[in-house]
Amino acid sequence: MSGLIGRKIGMTQVFGEAGESIPATVIEAGPCPVVQKKTPERDGYGAIQVGFGEKKKSRVRKPEAGQAAKAGVPVPRHVREFRVEDPSGYEIGQELSVELFAQGDRVSVTGRSKGRGFAGVMKRHGMSGGDETHGNKSHRVPGSLGSAAYPARVFKGRRLPGHMGDARVTVRNLEIVRVDTDRNVLVVRGAVPGPRNGILLIRK
């Protein structure tokens, strides 16, 4: 099953049939033209490359321009590859839209989480911190690491301060609550990774 490239517009709420409030994310998904096909005979696996958006002409490189001209589409700003079992079911230049999905479908949404910079253990890992009374001055630090003469080192994988966020994150099993084919919009229940206008991959 192929997917779509989308752009996160923001969060809102919609109301279900019983009148309940559903927190939801609005995603502009597609249209995504097929710019290239990968076949098992030639490339060793089956996949399609799809584009999203349009790149400024001043930023287009010659290989990108040649690929887009061959497909008969404008040079896309974003290109992603989706594995498919039978790429022969797709044609180069064919546009994929939100019609791939229907209300009630379950999808996985992949994006890049917001970068939080260098963060301590309380923000990064939710640790409780030290006492704030009786002269203790270690309020937000990790505390003792528990090593003495043996093993005389810090074990790998320990939760410590460091870079937080700015990572590829996939949220699975999100329900589609609205599909607007006129405006190429999907509304999914719950939150998805990344900031507003962040690029997302939506797969069944």
What pLDDT score does 137 carry? 85
Residue with tokens 């939801």: 24
Q: What is the pLDDT of residues 61-90, one digit of tens each?
A: 999 899 899 888 899 999 999 999 888 889
Domain that holds residue 135: 118-164
Q: What is the pLDDT of residues 146-185, one digit of tens each?
A: 778 888 888 899 999 999 999 999 999 999 999 999 999 9
Residues 135 and 68 in one domain: no
Residues 23 and 76 in one domain: yes
Count of Cβ atoms closer than 10 Å to residue 176 Cβ: 21
Structure tokens at 28: 């502009």
CATH number reported for the structural domain that contains residue 70 in this entry: 2.40.30.10
Residues 11 and 104 in one domain: yes
- The helix (H) or strand (E) run that includes residue 67 is helix 62-71
Phi, psi torsion values for 67, nearest 5 degrees: -65, -45
Residues 63 and 77 in one domain: yes
CA nearest to 73, candidates 38, 37, 32, 39: 32
CA distance 190 to 203: 16
Residues 26 and 108 in one domain: yes
Structure tokens at 163: 């870079």
Total domains in the chain come to 2
What pLDDT score does 1 carry? 59
Residues 94 and 180 in one domain: yes
Residues 65 and 94 in one domain: yes
Q: Which amino acid is at 32?
A: C
Residue with tokens 């079992």: 85
